[in-house]
Structure 1
């Protein structure tokens, strides 16, 4: 009897799991599923991640944890008693245990014989029983995408009704409700695909170029089964891709994770897993408008942002209208406009500018496009509308933004310049060729070789050590003196224990920063050699770039890239300028410093310990991107070395880790400690050293507020991080940063995370470890063996509240 009951139970489960269609009066209960004809997709109840809530969703039968659509994403069921049913009017509804309606959909007209069917495309449809024409569907889930973009779905807008098709990320892996990020079609100007965070654009795929989108080419499929379609008419505009091979074993999907990252996955049957095939936001230039107006972003360059031909960087200003920092470039020579003498300069291999302020015509040719642009003073550039056919006209008006380099052939862009500007460009090209020929002469080549060899000899290391080739420019003293107006006071950017820093302008128009070491500087020849030999080998966008050096007699100078916003301390510790740095910029600065440190510790050819990481050594470019500077005190580790000890402790009060300050032991974890202090200073706008609160220092104050669960009281209320609590995402991000900072400043080095873990914690959403009490080091903590007479200053610092020291540790 029991065997017979088990047999009938098996038959019941088999039938329940094999439902292919739902008719009026039928329902799906928790535990039952609806399956597509070929068993590709399945619909049923599920619980996401670690959640106990129940939802109606659609997933791949071959990968039942990959949910591609959720019906009641905003209205979960708290138990296993949910029921999904279809009525005679074609209305699909979800009820809970008390028969309360949680979710429903209505058809646009009443069907005669409605059925609910899950198609092998993953589309759930309400249709007439015997009518399979997609145009006649009464309702379909493809009109309401979630976080997955499947073949056949649309991204776009109905221009008549205003209805929008868009994908939106889950709030978290445990919560499928709509998160902050979405993939949409921006229909302003010429339509383009964009990723938005709320109402703010964070990534732009680009505009349609006749084949794909201008900022991204379609990947080569392992199996060429997809075709791409862009439709634009007076009624609607949308994009979709479709499978040309029915029931193919090749499965691919696009998905947006809760952090807004768009990725394409392919199913590897042999491994039974999804493999990431491509990522849309693949590099730093994916950040929307990273470089400002009239700038181009290059992913492979040390400094990603550079002005377009004929434009110069503009100074940083504060825009009171939108409370943002203005950056970007401005024209070097104004347009003549109505005089008719403007010309166009051709740019190739790039992602076209944002088209929100553009105009398009599909019938004009390129010459007509050019003439039309010249007739409008606001027109700044033009291009073919269809790059594949080289037809049509696309015009831009006013500023050009969000331009980046492209590795493949793409649409040509013609930017508008004054005729005299184009003449200057051609003159420079000609001058550059002549100069290259002159430099190639044997006499100058020999002199350059002799000078390089002399410098290498001067910088040679102790006997037995490898000689390092110096790959940098050797500037003569006269050139630097001329560039800095003979080191005039007007050109001075700052002063520290090492000497002075001057702004300079080379003859070719490149701005530089000249670090001129004073003769009595605490940074002597050893530190100078150290900085040159180290930084010349380091290439990262978050490290300051060294152009070259200059030596003449006792003169020693380092020539760096010029960064217009100077150092971080000029912003976060200044009551007026700190209002220019909002939370997003502060977080980006924290993230950039972390990436620079990760490179120094793990990713560069060398393993570098900076040993003097502080706010005044973080320089900011014109887009407020941080760059770690001042490698005079840095140390290089070789092989598997992770720690060293010194009798000569160097660094800055308030940033030094306890084990380094007291015992001279330093490691990568010493830099991690300094980074933790820096995070707290960036968040609070207060210095760790000289903190005026009743607590001894900023670390102790942060720890007390953390234990009292009042971490947000640390936020710089007078600065750009002033926050009203209206955005829970920002609150979470702030608390996460404080948590990471406290983990970085723990007493024991082994308790601190490494920089790779720090970056994962900053950008992730997982639960973070709880920090222990931080390690403190302030002047009064010095042990008796370190009396006041036992340390020597490296000279006056840039700030009266900061002292860089050298401590001679008695052994």
Structure 2
């Protein structure tokens, strides 16, 4: 046979013809009019079995970019949705595959030389075997239907690949040790076994978990508590009817679709995401409804030992009460994988007790003990007897709770539960001194004292601010600061109300710490943006005055322009020039808009922000530290010229002042420099740090807060430092990444750095 050609039967074809023939055969599948295959019959490549209800089809196929052939099952209405593969690890190299029964009555796939490349390897010998494709997608081998035995010797449902269908099990047979689990494809074009498996761990209590590259856990839904898996999102439960069986012989999970009009599958993709995918029968597309892991708290051990991953707190990782960060420097950089240690070590004395924690996914079952008959009080006593016992909980929440789980050593992979009305509590062991400090009435008294003092101080500040504003109003509408009178136009409340459609929700263009921002059109036709102080805002008159006075005194093309203000009754509003492209975060974090933003445009935005910072830090009459530089505070004009906005938290440095300290830490986590977030120290370098984070977000179109990667626990800053050398795809991108690296190591002189950056344009 000539080089470059292959032989099919007795004919030689070029590789191109072979590829075309594969495509042709994939389209023209010759379905035989039956759903079953009997002994002595066979199916060749191009022929298929179809289930009686026309739901599923079985035959040979090739993934989109592959020349190999595989025996598989797919939805008849959706050939690209393959749900089971027989010979994924042993493909056919040509179109000569045959499905038939062997002399031993096993279902086999033969290649051109009649060698067996796949076999059902049934342990039961059948006299008249029949393979039947059911309407559930299950290929079953049993005795001839005429025997009506109802028993089978083999079924494809016992050997799932990457897809779980309704009625298919995932779990273990405790009697035989047989396991049902999902295994990802190696790639979209290669159905051989990939890196990920998804199944149930039956070590003690059943747990759902993903294993990545061997036995490294990537996601864990938590132990089954008699009702559900607490780490499973509530939304996933409504997508199908889950069923969990846990008895002396079996432990497994399966599901049913929510209705006859909806098809639901669970798939483990090649990237290690467990996806719940749904399709309505009248629809032509599949929709991914849930993917796990889907957020940073889903990643196994995200907050390290004795740490808790929280859903809506900053920072995301918190130490359990009575614990503190093991490595403070790493926590300050938002890397919490080192975990937490006890503030006061246990000494196994009677002066120890337990702190009750609720709404948590229980720690991983690594070093633990389980007693299904023990009560919760007996569990507590038993845990106190053992110096190594660190926590306990009920193993079953039904009927008020029963069973005893005890943990020994560090508590790993704890997060806030996603389940509504989650009733399982965790009791962690602490020294009496720590319990007293947590529950002490003195602490509560101090809290009340601090609250009252803060309220009095706040009223004092408000009184001063109101006095200044009243004096300013008496002088004709200007705002006054100290001895200097700043002239700003004053708008009437009715005029602004009409301009914004009476603050219509349809005109809302943003919401921040100050309040809501509305788009408006004045009677002159000028478009404006109105920032209205919310009554529930954490900011108030102090920030209102600060922003009005600062922006009025600062003029630069890369700073937002303030047109005026409004003070009437309890209303406090600032009126700005309107930016049609809104804020930078709406642009770079939107997939559609971000994809159209060229690297030159991104670089120009970075340069514009740098010019604005240079003006604030050096070129203006005042040295101003912004303290809240972030994507949502960068507004974009029609030509994408950036303007720094929101000066409510800004501070003015006078004379030779280079650094200041505050006890009031305000701003946005993820953009704060560590020395400011933890010690209250801020300077021009604080803005440099925020600028560096912002620059990385502009380059990557990814948020620093909420960023996660399946291969590590670093935030965007850590991830950027490890991969930026591999991302040089253009000159503009190279320039931006080069500048990013300088930001991350921080120049000693902010002004020299920004001047150099502007000069590099």
| Equivalences for residues 292-691 of structure 1 within 5 A | 292-315=304-327, 327-337=338-348, 339-389=349-399, 390-407=401-418, 408-410=420-422, 411-427=424-440, 428-441=443-456, 444-446=459-461, 450=465, 452=543, 455-456=546-547, 459-461=550-552, 462=554, 464-465=561-562, 529=624, 531-535=626-630, 554=655, 555=657, 556-557=659-660, 563=674, 597-598=696-697, 625-626=714-715, 682=722
Q: Secondary structure at the match of 1:742?
A: coil
Aligned to 1:613: none
Shift of 1:596: 7.8
Shift of 1:296: 0.7
In structure 2, the CA distance between the partners of 1:184 and 1:564, relative to structure 1 (3 Å rule), is: farther
In structure 2, the CA distance between the partners of 1:63 and 1:528, relative to structure 1 (3 Å rule), is: farther
In structure 2, the CA distance between the partners of 1:355 and 1:426, relative to structure 1 (3 Å rule), is: same
| Conservation of the 8 A alpha-carbon contact between 2:297 and 2:311 | yes
In structure 2, the CA distance between the partners of 1:564 and 1:398, relative to structure 1 (3 Å rule), is: farther
* Structure 2 Cα separation of the partners of residues 414 and 810 of structure 1: 58
Shift of 1:53: 1.2
* Structure 2 Cα separation of the partners of residues 79 and 392 of structure 1: 58
Find out whether 1:241 has 2:255 as its counterpart: yes
Shift of 1:312: 0.3
| Conservation of the 8 A alpha-carbon contact between 1:191 and 1:356 | no
| Conservation of the 8 A alpha-carbon contact between 1:88 and 1:114 | no
In structure 2, the CA distance between the partners of 1:299 and 1:778, relative to structure 1 (3 Å rule), is: closer
Shift of 1:177: 0.5
Match of residue 231, structure 1, among 224, 243, 246: 246
Which deviates further from its counterpart, 395-404 or 16-25?
Answer: 16-25
Aligned to 1:806: 755
Instruction: Provide, for residues 68-96 of structure 1, a one-character-per-residue CA deviation record: whole Å limited to 9, x for no partner.
Output: 10000011112211101123533011111
List gaps (5 residues or longer) in structure 2.
1-27, 466-541, 556-560, 567-615, 635-646, 666-671, 678-691
Instruction: Provide, for residues 719-772 of structure 1, a one-character-per-residue CA deviation record: whole Å limited to 9, x for no partner.
Output: xxxxxxxxxxxxxxxxxx765x121xx22x4xx5xxxxxxxxxxxxxxxxxxxx
Match of residue 182, structure 1, among 197, 200, 203: 197
In structure 2, the CA distance between the partners of 1:258 and 1:429, relative to structure 1 (3 Å rule), is: farther
* Structure 1 Cα separation of the partners of residues 69 and 182 of structure 2: 21
| Conservation of the 8 A alpha-carbon contact between 1:30 and 1:81 | yes
* Structure 1 Cα separation of the partners of residues 377 and 620 of structure 2: 62
| Conservation of the 8 A alpha-carbon contact between 1:212 and 1:228 | no
| Conservation of the 8 A alpha-carbon contact between 1:565 and 1:624 | no
Instruction: Provide, for residues 242-267 of structure 1, a one-character-per-residue CA deviation record: whole Å limited to 9, x for no partner.
Output: 4697xx33211100111001110111
Shift of 1:434: 3.3
| Conservation of the 8 A alpha-carbon contact between 1:209 and 1:386 | yes
In structure 2, the CA distance between the partners of 1:532 and 1:326, relative to structure 1 (3 Å rule), is: closer
| Conservation of the 8 A alpha-carbon contact between 1:124 and 1:141 | yes
RMSD value, Cα: 4.4
Shift of 1:398: 1.1
Shift of 1:326: 6.6
* Structure 1 Cα separation of the partners of residues 675 and 367 of structure 2: 30
Find out whether 1:116 has 2:131 as its counterpart: yes
* Structure 2 Cα separation of the partners of residues 797 and 242 of structure 1: 56
In structure 2, the CA distance between the partners of 1:243 and 1:127, relative to structure 1 (3 Å rule), is: farther
* Structure 1 Cα separation of the partners of residues 279 and 66 of structure 2: 26
Q: Secondary structure at the match of 1:435?
A: helix
| Conservation of the 8 A alpha-carbon contact between 1:226 and 1:241 | yes
| Conservation of the 8 A alpha-carbon contact between 1:25 and 1:86 | yes
| Conservation of the 8 A alpha-carbon contact between 1:212 and 1:218 | no
| Conservation of the 8 A alpha-carbon contact between 1:189 and 1:356 | no
| Equivalences for residues 77-96 of structure 1 within 5 A | 77-87=92-102, 89-96=104-111
Aligned to 1:41: 56
Q: Secondary structure at the match of 1:267?
A: strand
Aligned to 2:217: 201
Aligned to 1:10: none
* Structure 1 Cα separation of the partners of residues 133 and 463 of structure 2: 74
Q: Secondary structure at the match of 1:251?
A: strand
Match of residue 259, structure 1, among 250, 268, 271: 271
* Structure 2 Cα separation of the partners of residues 133 and 100 of structure 1: 32
Shift of 1:178: 0.7
Instruction: Provide, for residues 538-585 of structure 1, a one-character-per-residue CA deviation record: whole Å limited to 9, x for no partner.
Output: 79xxxxxx997776854443667674999xxxxxxxxxxxxxxxxxxx
TM-score norm. by structure 2 comes to 0.63
* Structure 1 Cα separation of the partners of residues 48 and 246 of structure 2: 35
Q: Secondary structure at the match of 1:285?
A: helix
Shift of 1:106: 1.2
Find out whether 1:211 has 2:227 as its counterpart: yes
Q: Secondary structure at the match of 2:696?
A: helix
In structure 2, the CA distance between the partners of 1:273 and 1:212, relative to structure 1 (3 Å rule), is: same
Q: Secondary structure at the match of 1:529?
A: strand
Q: Secondary structure at the match of 1:25?
A: coil
In structure 2, the CA distance between the partners of 1:601 and 1:175, relative to structure 1 (3 Å rule), is: closer
Aligned to 1:727: none
* Structure 2 Cα separation of the partners of residues 56 and 602 of structure 1: 41
Instruction: Provide, for residues 134-182 of structure 1, a one-character-per-residue CA deviation record: whole Å limited to 9, x for no partner.
Output: 7x32111112111101222222234455432210111111111111011
Shift of 1:598: 3.5
| Conservation of the 8 A alpha-carbon contact between 1:342 and 1:418 | yes
Instruction: Provide, for residues 194-235 of structure 1, a one-character-per-residue CA deviation record: whole Å limited to 9, x for no partner.
Output: 111122111112211222212114546778x624113243x5
List gaps (5 residues or longer) in structure 1.
1-12, 319-323, 470-520, 540-545, 567-592, 609-617, 630-674, 684-736, 753-773, 780-792
| Conservation of the 8 A alpha-carbon contact between 2:359 and 2:417 | yes
In structure 2, the CA distance between the partners of 1:343 and 1:16, relative to structure 1 (3 Å rule), is: same
TM-score norm. by structure 1 comes to 0.59
* Structure 2 Cα separation of the partners of residues 383 and 60 of structure 1: 45
* Structure 2 Cα separation of the partners of residues 177 and 595 of structure 1: 41
| Conservation of the 8 A alpha-carbon contact between 1:348 and 1:412 | yes
* Structure 2 Cα separation of the partners of residues 448 and 383 of structure 1: 52
